[in-house]
Amino acid sequence: MAASFHPPQRTLMGPGPSDVNPRILEAMSRPTIGHLDPAFIGLMDDVKAKLQYVFKTNNTLTLPISAPGSAGMEACFVNLLSCGDTAIVCQNGVFGGRMKENIERCGAKAVMVEDEWGTPVSIDKVAEAIANHPEAVALCFVHAETSTGVRSDAATLCEMAREAGMLSIVDTVTGLAGIDVSVDEWGADAVYSGTQKCLSCVPGLSPVTFSPKAVEHIQNRQQKVQSWFLDMNLVMGYWGGEGKRAYHHTAPINALYALHEALCIVEEEGLEASWARHALHHRALVAGLEAMGLSMQVAAEYRLPQLNAVNIPEGADDAAVRAALLNDYSLEIGAGLGSLAGKVWRIGLMGHAANHKNVLLCLHALESVLRAQGVAVQSGAIDAANGVYHTE
Amino acid sequence: MAASFHPPQRTLMGPGPSDVNPRILEAMSRPTIGHLDPAFIGLMDDVKAKLQYVFKTNNTLTLPISAPGSAGMEACFVNLLSCGDTAIVCQNGVFGGRMKENIERCGAKAVMVEDEWGTPVSIDKVAEAIANHPEAVALCFVHAETSTGVRSDAATLCEMAREAGMLSIVDTVTGLAGIDVSVDEWGADAVYSGTQKCLSCVPGLSPVTFSPKAVEHIQNRQQKVQSWFLDMNLVMGYWGGEGKRAYHHTAPINALYALHEALCIVEEEGLEASWARHALHHRALVAGLEAMGLSMQVAAEYRLPQLNAVNIPEGADDAAVRAALLNDYSLEIGAGLGSLAGKVWRIGLMGHAANHKNVLLCLHALESVLRAQGVAVQSGAIDAANGVYHTE
């Protein structure tokens, strides 16, 4: 008899997946129906409307790509870029680098605007790149860098792109539902996200939205989109809206039940209330970490509340601390990546995981593990965090 | 309060998704853990071993692509073809046409070998194409055509490719676990499938396997794979096997719980027993349909037991019959596609859905609906089906 897999019960405070609300797991386990079933078509319409709400957009082409965030990223690039195009890419972490990979694999040229990891995209450098590369068709940047916990100024960057006659392509995988994502107000042209971050849903889908200008660009392409699976000209026929749905690929039915439930939960709480909750627990976590004597990697004004990069204190063994948290507390936090590998831990407070209990667990567990491993930390983390909760 | 989605309870006897075993839905709803959690790495190893069992292969590069079957198809093409290559494509249904789309989007040339829909790939025509196109790098065909219910001779076609020094690329989305898929015995180089057919799992993943020769071809490519998400050189680092797993993209954790459970179920039943069960219920269904006076589209020797294309009888309104089955019996069967649209219904008997109860329900419901809509059908369908069950 083959053994069924029973996962351990973790508290997920890494860079995602985040703790999934049990309501979502239950919704996902409802009976599978067909991807052309009238009942499913109704669900698709509702998912689309709810995504428009969290993206703050009226864009008709708003839908979940049937694959993880990396595929959502790829969907934006392969549909908007053609061979021979130039695009400006802002890199201040892992995901700007992945944008470059995508652009080059489209046969396009990436002009890089580099900023130090842990800092936001420099508006001045972008202005210079735009001035030097008027031929660029797109300005691409990461709104919420999952690898560093930095927020960049999406409104300004989208405006600069628009004024230069370029399309804006925005990664907000970690942003959506955790901080303000105002697609229409920004005038962003293509924006992608993931389900496993502040939506607290299972990983596997990538919500995307395209402006009317982006849709026009896609419909007027001279070259075919290099990916059949991600070709929005075809996907539109299934998700597009008006009239009969044409079969394109088999949608991941049950994952869409999960996303729908996740979006119901955001709607019930209210988008602004969700952002406020992320901000509150972030302040409490930071107060606790600082009381312990630890320091944050990112300057306060650019911090993402949902992804907290804390500097690894002197004398601490990165991997050993994370292993002890996992083994002794069943608590997952994230390692640093790239130039921040071994220098920071990434503590996520995403969606359902952004709550009082998790903040206290994390502070208590981290303090205990650091002490047990001989790292000097100060007392009072829990009190400092509770101080935030009690005064607000 | 946003309304949660409660799907109707269907019996899924279309071309997929098929009825999902409740064990799989329950397994999928277990708590989400991280994609780099040691417990999850153990699950990945086990999924891989179980996929090797159902594919009958020792291929190291055997894994589920984190997206539906169309992405599994695309993974095979973008990794094995480069711009300027030629590939021979056998088309006898929808999915050969999709192969052509994929090949052309790789900047490669597709040499088409066309056969009538409802018939298998012609070995003679393929031999001719191979003789005329020795420059082709791959021979591509559909083992189990979901659009027509036809099985082609995979063993012979793979052998012909091998003898001509070409790679074989095989679509068995509907084949896996329903009929014999012997990847190593065939000597197939790249084979892709889906989870929502005879594995009876939820849609959203695409099991693939690559031969050592295919892996060597991928590792020695001169051009980068045009898809970052599907680049096997990168995916191997996460799924590949030896040593530390490198983060590539966030795996769809809970969908993999589901696939694991589906593979446990196949293992418990035994692969050969699963094939035999599909064959038995197919014979019973066909006996019933023929007793009713209906005829099958595909010649008996080429029929897929899991996908039964039955000719729509004179006087029957295709869409009205399917709507009545759905509304009055909550039973989904499939429409015809392409040149068979309006001419056939596609009745699936896939995985968990291949059972006695479903066969009887389908025969009874179809007979009642046809009569109610004034189409003359003969009596005795249920008796004929039961006759098969009682004599075997």
* A28 with B29: Cβ contact below 8 A: yes
* Residue-level pLDDT at B238: 87
pLDDT above 90 covers a percentage of chain B that reads 96
Residue in B3, B70, B254 closest to A28 by CB: B254
Is 80 exceeded by the pLDDT of residue B242?
A: no
pLDDT band at A1 (very low <50, low <70, confident <90, very high): low
Closest CA to A310 of A330, A329, A282, A331: A282
Instruction: Tell me which chain B residue has its CA closest to the CA of residue A104.
Output: B226
Segment A274-303 shows an average pLDDT of 98
Q: Please determine whether the domains at B22-267 and B271-391 fall in the same fold group of CATH.
A: no
Segment B193-215 shows an average pLDDT of 98
The 10s digit of each residue's pLDDT in A115-125 is 999 999 999 99
Give me the interface pTM, i.e. the ipTM. Answer: 0.97
* Residue-level pLDDT at B62: 97
pLDDT band at A237 (very low <50, low <70, confident <90, very high): confident
The 10s digit of each residue's pLDDT in A64-83 is 999 999 999 999 999 999 99
In whole angstroms, what is the distance from residue A371 CA to residue A76 CA? 46
Top CATH class of A21-267 equals alpha beta
Closest CA to A203 of B233, B306, B249: B249
Q: What residue ranges do the domains of chain A occupy? A: 21-267, 271-391
Three-state SS letters, chain A: CCCCCCCCCCEEECCCCCCCCHHHHHHHCCCCCCCCCHHHHHHHHHHHHHHHHHHCCCCCEEEEECCCHHHHHHHHHHHHCCCCCEEEEEECCHHHHHHHHHHHHCCCEEEEEECCCCCCCCHHHHHHHHHHCCCCCEEEEECEECCCCEECCHHHHHHHHHHCCCEEEEECCCCECCECCCHHHHCCCEEECCCCCCCCCCCCCEEEEECHHHHHHHHCCCCCCCCCCCCHHHHHHHHCCCCCCCCCCCCCHHHHHHHHHHHHHHHHHCHHHHHHHHHHHHHHHHHHHHHCCCCECCCHHHEECCEEEEECCCCCCHHHHHHHHHHHHCEEEEECCHHHCCCEEEEECCHHHCCHHHHHHHHHHHHHHHHHCCCCCCCCHHHHHHHHHHHC
The number of angstroms, rounded, from the C-alpha of B196 to the middle of its chain's C-alpha atoms is 8
Instruction: Tell me which chain B residue has its CA closest to the CA of residue A326.
Output: B37
- Count CA within 13 A, CB hemisphere, residue B390: 6
The 10s digit of each residue's pLDDT in B306-352 is 999 999 999 999 999 999 999 999 999 999 999 999 999 999 999 99
DSSP secondary structure code for residue B297 in this structure: S
Task: Give the residue from B76, B79, B254, B345 with the most A CB atoms within 10 Å of its CB, the best one to mutate.
Answer: B254
pLDDT above 90 covers a percentage of chain A that reads 96
The number of angstroms, rounded, from the C-alpha of B211 to the middle of its chain's C-alpha atoms is 19
| Least confident stretch, A4-8, A240-244, B90-94 | A240-244
Number of Cβ within a 10 Å radius of residue A133: 17
In whole angstroms, what is the distance from residue A335 CA to residue A318 CA? 8
- Look up the pTM and report it: 0.97
Residue type, A194: G
Is 60 exceeded by the pLDDT of residue B1?
A: no
The 10s digit of each residue's pLDDT in A322-370 is 999 999 999 999 999 999 999 999 999 999 999 999 999 999 999 999 9
B329: chain A residues, CB-CB within 8 Å: none
Closest CA to A17 of A282, A297, A286, A332: A332
How many cross-chain Cβ pairs, A to B, lie less than 8 Å apart?
A: 254
Give me B110's structure tokens.
Answer: 């597709």
Segment B147-166 shows an average pLDDT of 98
A146: chain B residues, CB-CB within 8 Å: none
Share in percent of chain B as helix, strand, coil (round to 5): 45, 15, 40
| Phi, psi (deg, nearest 5) at residue A363 | -65, -45
Is 80 exceeded by the pLDDT of residue B152?
A: yes
* Residue-level pLDDT at B243: 58
Can the peptide bond before residue B17 be classed as cis, meaning omega within 30 degrees of 0?
yes
A28: chain B residues, CB-CB within 8 Å: 28-29, 254
Length of chain B: 392
In whole angstroms, what is the distance from residue B11 CA to residue B329 CA? 8
B319: chain A residues, CB-CB within 8 Å: none
Top CATH class of B22-267 equals alpha beta
Q: Which helix (H) or strand (E) holds B191?
A: strand B190-192
Min distance A391 CA to chain B CA atoms (Å):
30
Task: Give the residue from A1, A12, A32 with the most B CB atoms within 10 Å of its CB, the best one to mutate.
Answer: A32
Closest CA to A348 of A331, A365, A367, A372: A331
Residue type, A29: S
Top CATH class of B271-391 equals alpha beta
In whole angstroms, what is the distance from residue B308 CA to residue B284 CA? 12
Q: Which residue has the tokens 């219920």?
A: B281
Segment A382-390 shows an average pLDDT of 97
The 10s digit of each residue's pLDDT in A11-68 is 999 999 999 999 999 999 999 999 999 999 999 999 999 999 999 999 999 999 999 9
Task: Give the residue from B89, B249, B256, B326 with the most A CB atoms within 10 Å of its CB, the best one to mutate.
Answer: B249
Q: Is there a contact between A90 and A154 (Cβ–Cβ < 8 Å)?
A: no
* Residue-level pLDDT at B95: 96
In whole angstroms, what is the distance from residue A32 CA to residue A105 CA? 36
* Residue-level pLDDT at B389: 97
In whole angstroms, what is the distance from residue B283 CA to residue B286 CA? 5
Which burial class, exposed, middle or buried, applies to A92 when counting CB atoms under 10 A from its CB (0-12, 13-18, 19+)?
A: buried
In whole angstroms, what is the distance from residue A170 CA to residue A143 CA? 6
